[in-house]
Every structure is written in C-alpha cells, then in structure tokens.
Chain A
C-alpha cells in the first residue's frame, strides 16, 4: 500500500483512544419470570479497550451481551454508547458490530455480499461498498475469497469473514459472543491472537464473552468475572489471576489450592491439622475469622536440605499425574493437609514417585488471602 494520504472513511484509521466513554451499563436488571438473569450490573468499558465477560453458563454474561446488543430490554437500568442512552434503541440503530457463536454468516450470500450487508443497510454507494469490502477482506487476511459461499470456507476463515462483516461499517462497539468455541485448539489460539491484534490496530472498543479463563487472560485488557447475574470481580488479567476477590473467582480462574483457614494474627492463619501458614499481609478481618488461602499450583518449590521458606513442610507424594511438559503431584504434608503442585518435568526430573518423601516450601507472597464467603 502506498503512503499517500487517503481520503477514505477515516473511522478505521482513527488512532486508538484509551480513555473517554465507550460503553457504560448502569444498574441493569433482567428477570425471566422468577429467574434473575442480571441482578444489577454496572460496567464501564473505555474506548479502545477489550473487556471480557467471563463466567460459567447461566452466570448472565450472554444476557448482558444481549442487553448491550439490543436483543433484550432490561427491566431496570440503562445502556450508554459513546455517551448516548441506547437502552431502548433498536439493535439496528446501535452501531454495534457483533460476531456470533456460530458466526451466523448468511449461507445464501457470498462472503462479499455478507460483508456488504451492513453497508447496504446504511445506504453506502455501490462503489464505496466494493472498496470497503475489499479492504475488510484484506484486514482479516481473506483477499480473493469474496465470491465464495460461507460453506466453502474453513471454520477459521468463516470466523474471519464474520469478523470482517462486524467491523466493516466502523462500529463504535464490537461484541464477540464465544466466537472461538467451534474451532480446534490450535486454530483457536491463532485466532485469539489475530483478533486481539486487529482490535488493537483498529482501536476498537470490544466486549468479549467467554467461559474459558485462559482465553480471557490472553485476550483482555480487563476482565469482568460474572457469577449469578452479578459482576463478582472487575480488573486486569493480572489482578484477577493473582488477587481474586473471592472464592468463586479464585476457583474459576484456573486450578489452585484453596484452603479454608482461621486468622490467627496479621499475615498468619491456621489450617486444618493445626499448621500455621504465612500469607501476603492485608487486612482481611479480625483474628478468629474464616479466610480462604489461595496457592497457585506452580508456586511451591521443592526445598533442598537446609533451605528455609516462610512456609516449609515435609510430606510425601500421594499421586502423580503426567501432563507432558509439566507434572502434577499431590502431596500430603505432615501437619495433615494436602496440596497439589505443578512442576516442569525437567525440574522435578520426573523422578518423584508415589510414596517419595520431600520438603516443599513457598513464600508468604505466594499465598493470597481470599474472602471465604
């Protein structure tokens, strides 16, 4: 492409903004009969940001997406797009691009006709449509595929075409509803990175829905973890992974050791069996109150003879699970509680067997207190 100044629609080439109003959802409630699908959700997505709604099925993330898209009207609360109230606006009037779970490419239209559809609806001229469709196809790396029908494309290609259709009209918001669910693992990882790259390049404000926490960690600027129609925690991937707000979030964000403990002082607590554990300090409650202690599987290390750690225990291996590059060990510690660790195969040598004795330890900072409610 030449570097000559271009006169075409500038929506796409606008520099990504990282502040200002993108999407705001305030106090949204949606009930279906007696079931509360959304129980008062507040959410703000900054311009140019990709925010992920993460949660198990039935947590309300899809309903929230439908409210944002205009397919559902909330019983209470409002939706603002770019500062405008769109709570009751028809989906067609919202200027939102959406990628559906199974792509929803119109099977009776070619890829080019599919991508042209939103432009046609906006009464863009024929010539401009052709140019913008070609452009969109290039952006998603599908040049020359315009005349094919959706069923003649592979899953990944359909995915890209659906993405092109959703962004070709320069929407002020992009919604992605579990778009990678139908792809195999390898393709999924590739598409995740591609979508993320494109979103950042075009500076698109995006809301992404998934139940896969790994996907959420890879793709997001911020993640909203949803539980039973509410946002359980909103934060950066690092925040959420390392400092889960509660037991539910901790459990949902990947495998970990989560132990119920009783506070005994600042930064100390005792677990089942009486062992005292030290964790990253933080005011979590008065002595004697219940607390959850979160320890990620990869944090504990095998201690050499004489090596010390804030938490150090001897124990024996009770179970070995090979995962290829890493190995999981379930270890019963002598004070009477169990932890699971995951160590690189090379490091542990793959040599530990059930019944082997060892010492494990971890720092106070490796252990996060989590509200036990």
Chain B
C-alpha cells in the first residue's frame, strides 16, 4: 500500500513498464552501439574497443569515394525535396480544393507508390531509364526518389489543408489578392509547419533510399549504396563513423522539425 492509502502500482502496470523498457532498449540499441565502435582504435570489430581514436572519421573524410557518395546523396536528396514538395503541394491543393471527375482515381494514383513494393518500382524504373540511357545519371535517381516522396507530401500537406479555414484565403481575395497570390501570401505561410514536415519526409526518404539508387545509379554510388557495398565486402569501422554522422544528422533534423514542423510521423 502506498502512503496515500491507494493501492500501489498494480502488477500489470509494472509488467507494462518493463515490457516498454525492453522494447525501447531493443529499438535504441543499434543506434547506440555504433558510437563506441566508431571511436575504436582497432580495425576489427571488437567490443568493447581496445582503445579510442578518431581514425575512422579521418578515414571517412580522406576517402574521396565516401565523400563523393555523400555529396551525391545530398545533391539528390535536396533536388528530390524541392521537386516533390512543389509537385506534391500543388497536387494536395488540387485534391483538397478541386471538384472534377476522376478525383478519387487521382487520389489513388498519388498514394500508390507507397503500396507498390520498392523492388518492383526499382526494376521498372531501371528498364525505363535504361531505354533513354539515363542509368548512372543522378537526375534519374531524383525522378525515382520523387515518385516515392510525393505521396508523403500529399498526405502531410493535404491533412493541413483539410483543417485549414479557407476564410483566410477568401479574406485575402476580397482584399484585392488574386487566387494564386492569396495562396502564396496567406495560405502557404499558415501551413508552414506541414510544409516543413513534408520536406523532412521527402529529404530523408531520398537520403536513405537504397534500392532505386542501386538500380539507377550505375557506378555513381549514393551513400546508402556505398554503405551496402561496404557491409557486403570490406566491413571496417569507417562505416560506424558514417553511421554516427547519420544518426547525429537525423537527430538534428528531428529537433528542427519538432520546433518548426507539424511532427515527423509518417502515419497515424
């Protein structure tokens, strides 16, 4: 009995907390483990590391293959973000505001890339871009990644638009703004949190994507492809250093999104 005279934590609650603790441990363990590995002085996977050093970070920075792959991935992810955010936001406006025949079908098509398995899309895109000789072209990867990012943008921006009070836009129009100017000056600034979240989703979905990039990239590797090859072949702690940098990057982005965005949950 607790001092307040009410029964203490019931057994099921203790079990619940213990269970959740284990699950959180399971979820976080892989992220945590890469930190000590990346500072190891040993070229082999040893745990705990025999000594500490920054050599794997130095190795990463000095290896042009890693840096090239990183820069290429950033370039692709930024381009994908711009393309998908522009197209997806426009589509969300069309779907929420418009009334035209076939709208339900358009809605289905816009969400389909989420349902069609990535491997199917990847080989389909591979055969398409092979035909126009764009394999190895980073822009082909941008197009492929945008296909996957657009549904995220449509979902997030569409949800924001559905709860947005159109009276603001009407007010702007009555005050002398055309429809497009009203959207630009009044509606978009107000749904900015959703736009920030959508851009985050688009960026990460591209930056982490492997399969499409693997098929379309040819010999021009993106960061995930480079990691994939490393894991398959010459596994050394450089990849741990890269992993730490990625975990830190995602953490920073999450802070930015929770500060300026509308959340970072892709569903629910």
Binding site for B on A (CB under 8 A): 69-71, 90-92, 94, 96-98, 100-102, 104, 106-108, 117-118, 121-122, 165-166, 169, 175
A165, B177: Cα distance in complex, Å: 14
The contact of A91 among B165, B167, B173, B185, by CB within 8 Å, is B173
A107, B192: Cα distance in complex, Å: 12
A92, B175: Cα distance in complex, Å: 6
**Please, which residue of chain A has its CB at the minimum distance from the CB of B188?**
A108
The contact of B178 among A69, A90, A122, by CB within 8 Å, is A90
Q: How far is the CB of A173 from chain B (nearest CB, A)?
A: 10
Is B211 an interface position by the 8 A CB rule? no
Q: How far is the CB of A147 from chain B (nearest CB, A)?
A: 18
Q: Are B174 and A96 in contact (CB under 8 A)?
A: yes
Q: Are A102 and B165 in contact (CB under 8 A)?
A: yes
Given A107-B190, A108-B189, A108-B190, A100 and B167 contact (CB-CB distance below 8 Å) = yes
A71, B186: Cα distance in complex, Å: 17
In the assembled complex, which residues on chain B have CB atoms less than 8 Å from the CB atom of A175? 174
Q: Are B176 and A92 in contact (CB under 8 A)?
A: yes
Is B172 an interface position by the 8 A CB rule? yes
Is B264 an interface position by the 8 A CB rule? no
In the assembled complex, which residues on chain B have CB atoms less than 8 Å from the CB atom of A94? 174
In the assembled complex, which residues on chain A have CB atoms less than 8 Å from the CB atom of B259? none
Binding site for A on B (CB under 8 A): 165, 167-168, 170-178, 181, 185-186, 189-190, 192
Q: Are B174 and A121 in contact (CB under 8 A)?
A: no
Q: How far is the CB of B174 from chain A (nearest CB, A)?
A: 4
Q: Are A106 and B186 in contact (CB under 8 A)?
A: yes
The 5 closest A-B pairs by CB, nearest first: A121-B176, A104-B171, A118-B175, A91-B173, A98-B174
The contact of A104 among B170, B177, B185, B192, by CB within 8 Å, is B170
In the assembled complex, which residues on chain A have CB atoms less than 8 Å from the CB atom of B176? 92, 117-118, 121-122, 169
Q: Are A92 and B167 in contact (CB under 8 A)?
A: no
Q: How far is the CB of A136 from chain B (nearest CB, A)?
A: 13
Q: Are A104 and B167 in contact (CB under 8 A)?
A: yes
A118, B186: Cα distance in complex, Å: 12
Given A106-B186, A108-B189, A91 and B174 contact (CB-CB distance below 8 Å) = yes
Q: Are B175 and A100 in contact (CB under 8 A)?
A: no
In the assembled complex, which residues on chain B have CB atoms less than 8 Å from the CB atom of A122? 176
In the assembled complex, which residues on chain B have CB atoms less than 8 Å from the CB atom of A106? 168, 171-172, 186, 189-190
In the assembled complex, which residues on chain B have CB atoms less than 8 Å from the CB atom of A100? 167, 170-171
The contact of B174 among A97, A101, A107, A108, by CB within 8 Å, is A97
Scoring B168, B175, B177, B185 by chain A CB atoms within 10 A of each residue's CB, the highest score goes to B175
Q: How far is the CB of A159 from chain B (nearest CB, A)?
A: 14
The contact of A117 among B170, B175, B190, by CB within 8 Å, is B175
**Please, which residue of chain A has its CB at the minimum distance from the CB of B177?**
A121
**Please, which residue of chain A has its CB at the minimum distance from the CB of B167?**
A104
Q: How far is the CB of B185 from chain A (nearest CB, A)?
A: 8
Q: Are B167 and A101 in contact (CB under 8 A)?
A: yes
In the assembled complex, which residues on chain A have CB atoms less than 8 Å from the CB atom of B172? 106, 117
A257, B190: Cα distance in complex, Å: 51
17 A-B pairs with CB atoms under 8 Å apart are A90-B173, A90-B178, A91-B173, A92-B175, A92-B176, A92-B177, A96-B174, A104-B170, A104-B171, A106-B168, A108-B190, A108-B192, A117-B172, A117-B185, A121-B177, A166-B175, A175-B174
Given A102-B167, A107-B190, A69 and B174 contact (CB-CB distance below 8 Å) = yes
In the assembled complex, which residues on chain B have CB atoms less than 8 Å from the CB atom of A165? 175
In the assembled complex, which residues on chain B have CB atoms less than 8 Å from the CB atom of A90? 173, 178
In the assembled complex, which residues on chain A have CB atoms less than 8 Å from the CB atom of B175? 92, 97-98, 117-118, 121, 165-166, 169
The contact of B165 among A69, A104, A118, by CB within 8 Å, is A104
A96, B173: Cα distance in complex, Å: 10
Q: Are B171 and A98 in contact (CB under 8 A)?
A: yes
Scoring A92, A96, A107, A165 by chain B CB atoms within 10 A of each residue's CB, the highest score goes to A92
In the assembled complex, which residues on chain A have CB atoms less than 8 Å from the CB atom of B192? 108
A166, B181: Cα distance in complex, Å: 18
